[in-house]
Amino acid sequence: MNKNVGIVIVSHSADVARGTALMVEQMVGRDVPLGWCGGDPEGGLGTNVEAIMAAIDKAWSEKGVAILVDLGGAETNSEMAIEMLPESRRSRVVVCNAPVVEGAVMAATEAASGATLEAVRRTAEELTPA
C-alpha cells in the first residue's frame, strides 16, 4: 500500500504531462505515486476521461489522489472521471485549483512528507492568487 497521497497530472498535451511528471520525479523522487495523461482519444490535443481514470488508478493511494490540470476541459473531464470511479474512491480524489507544473511539484513535495490529501491540495492551491 502506498503511504503517500498520489499525484495525477492532466494536460491537453501528452508532452506537457510527461514533462511535468519527469520534473516531479527528478525534484521529489519516486516516493509519491504518480500518474499522468494528455491528449484526446485519438492522440490530438485534448483530454480523455478514460485515460484520466487510468492515471488515477496508477497513482492510487489509500490516502487519496490530488489531480493537477491545465485548461478548462482538463478540469471538466477530471471531475467527470472522479464521478465515474467506484463510490469507495470518489471522495478521496480532488482536483486542485493550481497551475499544472508548479502545482504538481509543490503537491508532490507535500505528499512526499506523508501529508494528508487536504494538506497536499492546500499547498498546491497556495500558488493560486485568492
Which residues are bridge partners to 94 per DSSP?
66
CB of 46 to another protein, least distance (A): 4
| Dihedral over alpha carbons 33, 41, 83, 105 (to 10 degrees) | 30
Task: State how far the alpha carbon of 2 is from the alpha carbons of 48, 72, 103, 112, 128, in Å.
Answer: 25, 30, 21, 11, 28
Does 109 bind another protein (CB under 8 A)? Our answer is: no
Does 128 bind another protein (CB under 8 A)? Our answer is: no
Q: How far apart are CA 128 and CA 98, in angstroms?
A: 6
Q: Per-residue string for binding with another protein, 49-88, x by CB under 8 A?
A: xx--------------------xxx--xx-xx---x----
| Number of residues counted as binding another protein (CB under 8 A) | 18
Task: List interacting residues with another protein (CB under 8 A).
Answer: 40-42, 44-50, 71-73, 76-77, 79-80, 84
